Every structure is written in C-alpha cells, then in structure tokens.
Amino acid sequence: MKRSSFLVCILLFALVSLVASDYTFRQIDMDVTVDLDNSYHVTERIVAEFFVPKHGIYREIPIRYGNQRIGLKDLQASDPIIKDDVSSGWATFRLGDADVKVKGLKEYVISYTMEIGDDRDREGDFFYYNILGPGWQEEIGLVTFTVRLPSPIDPRNVSLTGGRYGATRQRGEYTVSADGTTITGSARTMKPKEALTLYIDLEEGYFSEVKKFVDLTIPLYIGAIVLFVLLAFHSFSIWKRYGRDDPFVPVVRFDPPTDLSPLEVGYLFDGVVDAKDLSSMLFYWADRGYIRIEELKKKEYRIIKVKDLVSPKAHEQRLFDAFFKHGDEEGVLLKRLAKSTTFAKDIERTKSLTRSWFTKERELKDQSAERKRIIPFLHGVLLIVFHAWGTTYSYPGGALLLVPLAFGIGLLVLTAIAIPKIFDSWMFARKGKAFLKSGVFLLVYLIAFGIIFMVYREEVLLPPVLSLLFGTSALGIPLLFALFGAITAKRSAYGQKILEEIVGYREFIEKVEIDKLKVMIEDDPELFYHVLGYAIVLGLENTWAKKFDSIDMAQASWYIGSGGIHHPFFYATLANNLTTGAITKALYTQASSGSGRGPITPSFGGGGFSGGGFSGGGGGAW
C-alpha cells in the first residue's frame, strides 16, 4: 500500500514537472503619457520570475495598425537591448545577455515613444490602446496601468475589455481622475494569450496637433494612367517611324545562303552560337575535303586532317585549328578534346569571333532603330517608378515601394529578353517549342501577378478591386513597354536579305518533294552531304535524313568505319554523337573549371474589444 502511494506521488510529481512553466511574470506596470499629436510615451516595468536559468525576456511590439505604420522611437531599457527584427509589422528585441543567465526575480524597465499620427477617421478621434497585447506567453499575476491624457475626457466614453482576442467583456477595474485627464486601473491573473485593452471615444479634433493624412492613391493612379497613355503613344510613334521592318518575303532556294557556313547560318537563325552550330562544321569541312571522320569503336571518333584550311573568316580558322592543336599525325581523338580546357577556351573565342564577324558592312541590325529602341524601355522604367509610388502611397514609411518597383524592373528586363526569343520561335522554330516558351513566359507572369496582388491586398491592405486593378497594371506596364522596345529593333538591309535566304533554304530542306530530290541527285549524287551541315543547325537533320529513306545514295567519301553503305539516319545520329562527344563536354569542362501593396478606417461604435487597439504585442523569456 505504501509502495503504491509512493508511485502515485512520483507520477504526480512528474506530471506537474511536465506542465510547470520555466518562468512567470509577477507584475507588469504600464505608464502611458499621451500628447496632442497622438504620440504615446510609454514606460513598462516588468517583474519576471525565472524558475530555471534564463538569459532574460523578449518583447514584440506591433508597429503597424491596419495599413498605418506606427513610429517607434527612443527605445531604452534597464538591461542591454538585442534588436532581433524590425519588419513592416513588428519590432522584436530581447533584454539580457547571451553569455549570462539569471534565476529568481528580475525587474526590467523599458521606455519608448509611439507616434500614431492621424487615425484617418474623420468622424471622431479615439484612444484605443492595448495595455497588454495577446502575445504574452506566460501568466501575468498583476497588471497595473496609468494613462495621462493631454486634455479632459468624458468618463462615460471609457471602456476596459480583456480576455482572448475579440473578447468584449469588462475585465479588471479602472478610475478616471476628477479632472478627467488620468486613468488608472489594474487586472489580476492574466492568462497567456489574453489581452487588456483601454478604449476612449473622443471628439474629432481632440488630437489638435496631428498632421492630417491626405490619401493621394487614386489621384496618383489617375496621373499614372495619363502618363501611361502619353508614353505609350510616344513609344508607338518611335516604333512606327524607326522600327517597322520591311515585308519579310523568303523565297525557296536550293542553294545555301550566299557565302555562309553552317556555323554562321545557325548563329543568324537563332541568335546563339550553340554546340550544334560548332559541330556542324565537321560535316562542312569533310564535304569540302579538309577532314575525314573515323569511327574507331562505338561513339569513339578520330578527326583526320586531310589538308590545311586557310580562311579569311577568323572564327572558322580558330575553330579548325582548335580541333588539331592537340592531335598528332594520325589526327585527334574527340574524347581527348572533350577533356581539354584549352579546346573549351578556343570554342568560347570562336563564339565571340562569330558574333563580331557580323559588324560594319555585315551589321544585322539597323543602328538608328537600335539607338531609338532604348526610349520605350526608359519610358517603362519611369512609369514603373511612378506607379509603384502612387499605389503604395497610403502605406507610410516607403518600405513596400520596393516590392512593385523590383517586380516592375525585373519583369521589364525579363520581357525584353524573352519577347524576341518567343517571336523567333513562332517564326522559325517548331510550334511545340514556341508553345513551350510562350507557356513558361505566361506562367512567370501569372506567378508574379499572384505575388503582387497579395502584396497590395495583404500588406498595403487595399480592397480586392483596387488590388486587382493595381496588380494588373503593375504587370501590364513592363509587358507593353518591353514589347515596344523589342519590336522597335529593325533588321538592316543585309540582315533582311540574309534571313530571307536562310528561311528560304530551310523551306527547301523541310518541304522539298521526293521526286524533286531524285532529279537533283542525278546531277549531284552527294547532295545529302552538301546539305547535312545546314540541316543540323536548322534543327532538320532527321527531317532531311527521312527524305532519303527510299533513295539510293552514295557512301560518304569522308567517313571511315565498319560496314558498307550507311542509312541516312546514321549520319543524323553521327551528328548528335559528335556534338555530345566533343563540343558539349568541352563546354561543360570550361564551365565547371571556373575559367573562363483605400486606407482602412476603424468603426468601433461605443467601445472596443480585447486586443484590437494600438500596440500591446507580447513577450516571453529566452
């Protein structure tokens, strides 16, 4: 029996130990002095008791009410202050020392000034203050408060509520001084998460020294619309005068574009020198008798130089020499090149030389249009700044201005880069690729809209309609002006001519009829190999090979390998193997080596509710 009683005592002790707190707040005394400019000078005396060693206490003070940002100034304390965070809604700090712990009773004194300013309610003023906010983590044995007001108030307009957030019942007790300028009160045993709120209904103009807040959000937004129309019209005028391309009239042609290698055609076609463009030159040189391609075993190749290349094109010469720089008399193994950082650097240099080849008389863009197309982008930046400022005007402090500003500028740059590529995809590439690029671009804009809408709705606290309107325009501005900037780019006469030739040649490769091919092969038995390099850079190597599926064709004189005459699809596969076997791996080696948001106005009737006022916040121990 005694043993059973002992075990019960042990279990009860363990249970109590589990639920017992490490600390409690014995008493909190609040002293608040209110000025005519609706600022509060607050002094807090907090008596904590630590049952286990703690560093000290922490406080969370809200510095936002509705969409009003409250100024917090002159923060001082009896113990060292460790500021953890000052965000758009809270100021959080700790008192104590990270290297020292205390146990038992400890008193803390904190003082600060809160600048409430204009309450934005034109029907009356009010004092709505959380003596305690709903964020305290442990029980508070006793709360006392003294509120000193700048001029007399009517005691009938005072209420003190307490309990969980939203509670409207009377909690504690209070008295108003005979002259109506001081309120004192207290409440006992406040549980964790309970608030104590003092509300005073005041006449309009009570805070006579408050600077009235004038909300210019809508006027500024209307101004942004006017500015938008003017700048959009000007951008349209620039495009119409300088950026309209001549009619694009590609004509089907049976010969490659004039004096252009596959490398150059690939660059001109999509604006990028990629691995396929570079590897296509192996087929180009082989077809012209400069090299041979030998397959030693599956996916292992050697490039054999038949004769030296002497080219006036620096990019072509650089690439050719790069292939054989690490070779010997028998040629060069592709797997050796794939691991060479020197070869990778030569490839990067080849890319640069290819781009620089198309300058001066071979300039691809109209330089007058290039100089003018910057204007729509500058218009976009100006309008994004004005729009961001106007739509966040009701949120003091300016911190949220950066959100729509950053989104706007970021989307302007993104759209300026993406739009030309999407246009080119629809014009020159397969429709599947164009749909994919357009879908990704649309998805980015939808995600951006969701974020910016939530910023206006949840942070600036605008009504849903305004949030929708502002969010839509925040994204519409960069889209439109980036579009104007993109379409103002104009091809030069040379660029127009060459692009028409490339598209015309691509039409031939993609759509030529089998009967026509058979006739052409009678005159040129090696037609397949002459065109192969160009088909590769235009993404049509499989299409080109398929056309020869039922046509007898000669074996490539430049290919050395096992077996007899190979199927045309063999060469399409060979192109892929050569690209991944040397160029792509070398580029990877180079990269991995490292070289190379209308304002809310409160409507409280004749009283408030627990936790609904300014300030309060909460605290705990750390």
Give 178-193 pLDDT, tens digit per residue: 999 999 999 999 999 8
CA 454 to chain centre: 15
Q: What are phi and psi of 436, to 5 degrees?
A: -65, -50
Name the residue among 557, 267, 309 with its Cα closest to residue 323: 309
Single-letter amino acid, residue 64: R
- 34 — pLDDT class (breaks 50, 70, 90): very high
- What is the reported pLDDT for 381? 92
Alpha helices of 552-614 — where are they, by DSSP H? 568-578, 585-593
Q: What confidence tens digit (pLDDT) does each residue in 371-421 have?
A: 898 999 999 999 999 888 888 776 655 566 778 888 889 889 888 888 888
Judged on CB neighbours under 10 Å (0-12, 13-18, 19+), 316 is: buried
Nearby residues of 519 by Cβ (< 8 Å), 6 or more positions away = none
Report the chain's mean pLDDT, rounded to a whole number: 83
Please state, in angstroms and as integers, the Cα–Cα distance from residue 595 to each residue in 249, 272, 288, 542, 590, following that order.
44, 21, 34, 35, 6
What whole-number distance in Å separates Cα of residue 611 and Cα of residue 593?
A: 59
CA 247 to chain centre: 38
In a domain? residue 256:
no
In a domain? residue 32:
yes
User: What is the token pair recorded at 213?
Assistant: 């807040």
User: What is the token pair recorded at 123?
Assistant: 């029907």
Q: Are 11 and 108 in contact (CB under 8 A)?
A: no
Name the residue among 53, 51, 54 with its Cα closest to residue 22: 51
Q: Which residues pair with 72 in a beta bridge?
A: 114
Q: Are 180 and 153 in contact (CB under 8 A)?
A: yes
Q: What angle do CA 288, 289, 290 make, to 5 degrees?
A: 100
Average pLDDT, stretch 333-357? 86
- What is the reported pLDDT for 15? 44
In a domain? residue 603:
no
449 and 516 in a single domain? The answer is no
Please state, in angstroms and as integers, the Cα–Cα distance from residue 454 to each residue in 404, 468, 597, 600, following that order.
11, 9, 7, 16
- 340 — pLDDT class (breaks 50, 70, 90): confident
Choose one of 441, 470, 487: the last residue of a domain: 487
Q: What angle do CA 343, 347, 350 make, to 5 degrees?
A: 135
- 150 — pLDDT class (breaks 50, 70, 90): very high
What whole-number distance in Å separates Cα of residue 606 and Cα of residue 128?
A: 12
345 and 419 in a single domain? The answer is no
User: What is the token pair recorded at 425?
Assistant: 């995809």
Q: Is the pLDDT of residue 583 over 80?
A: no
- 5 — pLDDT class (breaks 50, 70, 90): low
209 and 229 in a single domain? The answer is no
What whole-number distance in Å separates Cα of residue 622 and Cα of residue 616?
A: 19
- What is the reported pLDDT for 16? 44
196 and 338 in a single domain? The answer is no
What whole-number distance in Å separates Cα of residue 93 and Cα of residue 83?
A: 4
Using the structure block, give the residue that is written with the tokens 């809270």. 90
What whole-number distance in Å separates Cα of residue 475 and Cα of residue 447?
A: 11
In a domain? residue 610:
no
What whole-number distance in Å separates Cα of residue 596 and Cα of residue 373?
A: 32
User: What is the token pair recorded at 444?
Assistant: 């980015």
- Structural domain harbouring 356: 262-367+491-593
Q: Is 238 helix (H, G, I), strand (E, B) or coil?
A: helix
178 and 230 in a single domain? The answer is no
What whole-number distance in Å separates Cα of residue 23 and Cα of residue 195?
A: 19
**Radius of gyration of the chain, Cα coordinates, nearest whole angstrom:** 38
Q: Are 198 and 145 in contact (CB under 8 A)?
A: yes
- What is the reported pLDDT for 601? 31
- 321 — pLDDT class (breaks 50, 70, 90): very high
Choose one of 487, 510, 535: the last residue of a domain: 487
Exposure b/e, 78-112, CB count within 10 A at least 16 = b:
ebeebeeeeeeebbbbbbbeeeeebeeebebebeb
Choose one of 422, 457, 487: the last residue of a domain: 487
- 532 — pLDDT class (breaks 50, 70, 90): very high
Please state, in angstroms and as integers, the Cα–Cα distance from residue 597 to each residue in 220, 353, 404, following that order.
15, 48, 8
Average pLDDT, stretch 277-300? 89
What whole-number distance in Å separates Cα of residue 290 and Cα of residue 306?
A: 5
Q: Is the pLDDT of residue 603 over 50?
A: no
Single-letter amino acid, residue 18: L
Average pLDDT, stretch 539-557? 86
Name the residue among 343, 396, 359 with its Cα closest to residue 120: 396
Using the structure block, give the residue that is written with the tokens 């990877």. 588
453 and 425 in a single domain? The answer is yes
Please report, to the nearest 10 degrees, the dihedral formed by the alpha carbons of residues 491, 494, 499, 501 taken in order: 150
What whole-number distance in Å separates Cα of residue 207 and Cα of residue 199?
A: 15
- What is the reported pLDDT for 428? 63
pTM, rounded to two decimals: 0.56
Q: Is the pLDDT of residue 598 over 50?
A: no
What whole-number distance in Å separates Cα of residue 251 and Cα of residue 91?
A: 69
Q: Is the pLDDT of residue 534 over 90?
A: yes
Q: Is the pLDDT of residue 599 over 50?
A: no
Single-letter amino acid, residue 364: L
How many distinct structural domains can be found in the chain? Answer: 3
Q: Are 158 and 174 in contact (CB under 8 A)?
A: yes
What whole-number distance in Å separates Cα of residue 325 and Cα of residue 246?
A: 45
In a domain? residue 178:
yes
51 and 140 in a single domain? The answer is yes
Among positive and negative, which fits the CA dihedral 299, 303, 304, 306?
positive
What whole-number distance in Å separates Cα of residue 6 and Cα of residue 70?
A: 58
- 252 — pLDDT class (breaks 50, 70, 90): confident
116 and 177 in a single domain? The answer is yes
Q: Are 51 and 21 in contact (CB under 8 A)?
A: yes
- What is the reported pLDDT for 17? 44
Average pLDDT, stretch 557-583? 76
433 and 307 in a single domain? The answer is no
399 and 495 in a single domain? The answer is no
Q: Are 157 and 202 in contact (CB under 8 A)?
A: yes
Q: Are 384 and 402 in contact (CB under 8 A)?
A: no
In a domain? residue 614:
no
What whole-number distance in Å separates Cα of residue 125 and Cα of residue 107?
A: 35
37 and 87 in a single domain? The answer is yes
- What is the reported pLDDT for 320? 93
In a domain? residue 604:
no
524 and 589 in a single domain? The answer is yes
What whole-number distance in Å separates Cα of residue 200 and Cα of residue 145?
A: 15
In a domain? residue 206:
yes
Q: Is the pLDDT of residue 91 over 60?
A: yes
